[in-house]
Amino acid sequence: MANVRSVAIVCGDGIGKEVIPVARDVLCLLHPEYELFPVEVGYERWERTGEAMGDDDFALLKSADAILFGAITTPSVPDYRSVLLRIRKDLDLFANVRPVKGDGFDITIVRENIEGLYSGIEEVGVDRATTLRLLTRHECERIARFACNLAGNRTLTIGHKANVMKSDVFFRDICLHEASVAGVNCNDRLIDALCLDVLLHPASYHVIVTTNMFGDILSDVAAYLVGGLGMLPSANIGEHHAFFEPVHGSAPDIAGRNVANPVAALRSAALLLRHAGDIPGSDAIECAIQTVFSRGIKTRDLGGSVGTKEFGDAILYELGLAGA
């Protein structure tokens, strides 16, 4: 549990500008004592100023007790360095936690967040391009211990591709060792088979630990279980910083039309409150989402017709009724 007084609010690009204000209003209602301050980073800022994130912006993010983040568009411009990868690395946010909950299943995907194929160690030449898949013992042990701790009495599943990559033999064996030291019940699956089996038998999985890109893919796959990308939140956790964001990206195809589903952003705010130790506040957000759904109030991606803002108003109304 962390002491949270100040929260940096980063809307970012695309639908981040629509879903984050909904989540911010809920935080304002539940915690009027929080100091919420906006920080502008992202592709739109880069287009305007030539810089996606200034040193001052990064210092502001670093100063916050928690960060609520929307989404950032990463263009395929040669010199553009991903802001999100920089923040994860520089704030040492080593664990990406993605809960996927539904009828009869409760899965938490724990993704190693700063190495693997997203290590950023790359070279592009005329005739070949390489990306180094770096896995260090330190990070593998750290993520394995984190996942074991989260699993407790539940089963831990390791997702890997050890039949093809030696780096995943390394990862799998470290995870198996840490699970045995922690006394956590553990099994392992090849990541491609795991992607399918999670969809077929979601109740068989509890906590899944995997490497960076596999975790990115697995969580998008698992979004199918709960109605799509608009539903899944994530927490990026480090030893000194915490950062909460929807799993989805900036979705330029639907941006600016008030149709984006703000549930992932609301659930990210709920994870932030859980991190801050406000379990009742976190539960109240989930409860309000379920009540609003039960009234048939849903955004377009879930077969409904209300807009992002109207969905947010319904949540605020519900939380108001509940005496928040």
Q: Per CB under 6 A, which of residues 17..46 are in contact with ligand ATP?
A: 19
CB distance 18 to 263 below 8 Å: no
Among the listed residues 230, 233, 281, 312, the single contact to ligand ATP using CB under 6 A: 230
Among the listed residues 151, 254, 284, 285, the single contact to ligand ATP using CB under 6 A: 254
The rounded distance, in Å, linking the Cα atoms of 245 and 262 is: 11
SS3 content of the chain, % helix, strand, coil (to 5): 45, 20, 35
If one asks whether residue 53 binds ligand ATP (CB under 6 A), the answer comes out as: no
Question: Taking the complex as a whole, how short is the minimal distance between the CB of residue 270 and ligand ATP, in angstroms?
Answer: 15
Among the listed residues 261, 269, 272, 275, the single contact to ligand ATP using CB under 6 A: 261
Question: Taking the complex as a whole, how short is the minimal distance between the CB of residue 61 and ligand ATP, in angstroms?
Answer: 19
* Nearer CB in complex with ligand ATP: 278/310: 310
Q: Per CB under 6 A, which of residues 170..229 are in contact with ligand ATP?
A: 229
The rounded distance, in Å, linking the Cα atoms of 108 and 147 is: 9
Q: CB under 6 A: which stretch of 55-63, 191-199, 253-261, 276-284 binds ligand ATP?
A: 253-261
CB neighbour list of residue 137: distance below 8 Å, 6 or more residues apart: 170, 174
Question: Taking the complex as a whole, how short is the minimal distance between the CB of residue 220 and ligand ATP, in angstroms?
Answer: 7
Q: What are phi and psi of 196, to 5 degrees?
A: -75, -45
CB distance 311 to 264 below 8 Å: no
If one asks whether residue 253 binds ligand ATP (CB under 6 A), the answer comes out as: yes
Q: Per CB under 6 A, which of residues 1..20 are in contact with ligand ATP?
A: 15, 19
Among the listed residues 106, 141, 278, 301, the single contact to ligand ATP using CB under 6 A: 301
If one asks whether residue 235 binds ligand ATP (CB under 6 A), the answer comes out as: no
Task: Classify residue 230 by burial, with Cβ atoms within 10 Å: 0-12, 13-18, 19+.
Answer: buried
Alpha helices in 234-307 (DSSP H): 263-275, 279-294
- Where residue 190 falls (left for φ over 0; alpha for ψ -120 to 50; beta otherwise) is beta
Among the listed residues 60, 264, 269, 289, the single contact to ligand ATP using CB under 6 A: 264
Question: Taking the complex as a whole, how short is the minimal distance between the CB of residue 9 and ligand ATP, in angstroms?
Answer: 17
What is the radius of gyration, based on Cα positions, of the chain? 19
Q: In terms of Cα–Cα distance, which of 323, 304, 202 is closest to 263? A: 304
Q: Which residue is nearest to ligand ATP (CB)?
A: 249
Question: Taking the complex as a whole, how short is the minimal distance between the CB of residue 264 and ligand ATP, in angstroms?
Answer: 6
Among the listed residues 98, 142, 248, 274, the single contact to ligand ATP using CB under 6 A: 248
